[in-house]
Structure 1
Amino acid sequence: MKRLTETLLLAACLAFTLPATATKSAQKPQAAAQGEASAQYDRGVAYYEGRGVPQDFTHARQWFEKAAAQGHAGAQNKLGVMYYEGQGVRQDHEQARQWFEKAAAQGSAAAQIVLAGMHYEGQGVPQDYGQARHWFEKAAAQGNANAQFVLGLLYDQGRGVRQNSARAWHWFKKAAAQGHAQAQFIFGLMHEKGHGVRQSEELARHWFEKAAMQGDVHAQIRLGLMYAQGQGAPQDDVQARRWLREAAAQGVAAAQSVLASMYAQGRGGPQDHEQARHWYEKAAAQGDTPAQLSLGVMYALGEGAPQDLRQAKEWFGRACDGGSQLGCEEYARFSQMGY
């Protein structure tokens, strides 16, 4: 999982970019040479992103420094990003912090959330949840969904603030309403468990679906299991297979294993032992014990692959190593048979 600051840094990188239709100042480099801050900034972005000129971090930094010296918040933010990442300069989190602070003081939400993340994780500054909350609140007040989401986490976990489920709900709701997928998933969990809100399986599924449609793997798994088990949603194997396949494609072993079992049983579609083996192998390669045990059975019976008792024994042995007593028993039985 990405560190929080790295995730928030992406938002900072995207917050100040040259529009698809370049500004007049970007089209006229002489405006930058004459000292116009916005033109200098646009020139820096052009070099930073390689728009109309070869990408060149050194030239980008030079133009950003000229604009930043005139108080251009976007340029200050970009310099913070460059020092944080070590783009065209030696990586220096202290320098990054100074530039982010300048931009944040001018109201740059992108700088505020990265600065908050640095305080949250203790990068370039001592770890300080109180300062993290301060800067997240500044950005959240401007409607920044990332900041609203993290504030929800802080209040939910009691970091830098007293634990307060109502405040957590408040910020998660704001972020979720703006389409923040992780906030939508957590908002769904809160409704499912009745944590700080009225319990509602219908609302839980509603928010899980919104998050899942944006690719949130946790929501996809949750929806898949809800439909498969008929808990919180009508039992529907077709929908279960659909959402578990989405999560499985993102590499989640548990989803791959359950999806494989659905193919093996013909739930939600035609029975397909080859697809079952395919997904069991992906899950088993990640150490999923039920998948390893199931692969042992498939190779033993010749389902989805030619019968191979040595392969069966190998997978039973791995399942045994993962804590499956049945795997241990089958491994011993195959050993006694000479495999």
Structure 2
Amino acid sequence: MSHRNARLTVFGRRLLVERVASGRPVAHVAAEMGISRATAHKWIRRWRAEGPAGLHDRSSRPRTTPHRTPADVEARVCDLRRARKLGPARIGPVLGLPASTVHRILTRHGLSRLSWLDRPTGTVIRRYERDRPGELIHVDVKKLGRIPDGGGHRVLGREAGRPIRGMGFDYIHSAVDDHSRLAYSEIHADEKAATCADFLTRAAAFFQAHGIARIERVLTDNAWAYRKGLAWKAVLTELGASGKLTRAYRPQTNGKVERFNRTLLDEWAYLRPYTSNHERTEALTDFLHTYNHHRCHTALDGHPPISRVNNPAGQYT
């Protein structure tokens, strides 16, 4: 994975190399990409020495980990979890391990949540994800009331901040890649077919700019714009993607973007008491950058979504 403060992803490093290879000075390219000359020279050296492979992140895993729990002990922890459904506090005394160590072992093996296991067999059944970025994109729209100038009830109180007739709603269109959880959102005044289609075009361009070259399938709910909209179907055809609809009244089918909507509310829309609708709208860009590049994602072992794009196999070291 990239360092959480790294300015360049693998895609950005390729751009750096291409611009320098075209004859432009390294100092000029570094300045326009917001990195130091030393960093730019480092990636140029690696590219010249190793080719495209040199632009990928190198493992930071130590050569040896003498204090790591032996593999046979980890296997016994996993066996107790699957067979007896014990938690860290009960497995620890059985094997003479601290509960915190047991918890880390269960997390490492994807067994930290009993709700993910089939009770009779102990097989992990609740987690699913596509094998590669772009294989499936989840799309949804979230409706939010607009904020009047001066603030709504979160700023002025319930009585003074009562909704103003005619303020209307913002429609937040979001697309989330199933494998990497890379997310893209835009705010619009409606959710008509033309709006949804234009959003999908820009979302595809966003994913391509971040290293997801092709979208294969797009999953949506059963809204009219997705079922019948000719503009929506035209964009799918242009992208070479197929459209899929969720089961009626089963939003869980589109669970990844539904979960992203909840994060969107908690960490952007309701994060602080905004004093205007414009202020909330302006904050969306920073939220998306933080979510994609810096926010630790529990489903990705604490890594941000962009790391899954750079590392499609999902193997973290």
TM-score by length of 2: 0.21
More helix by share: 1
TM-score by length of 1: 0.20
More strand by share: 2
Q: Which has the larger radius of gyration?
A: 1
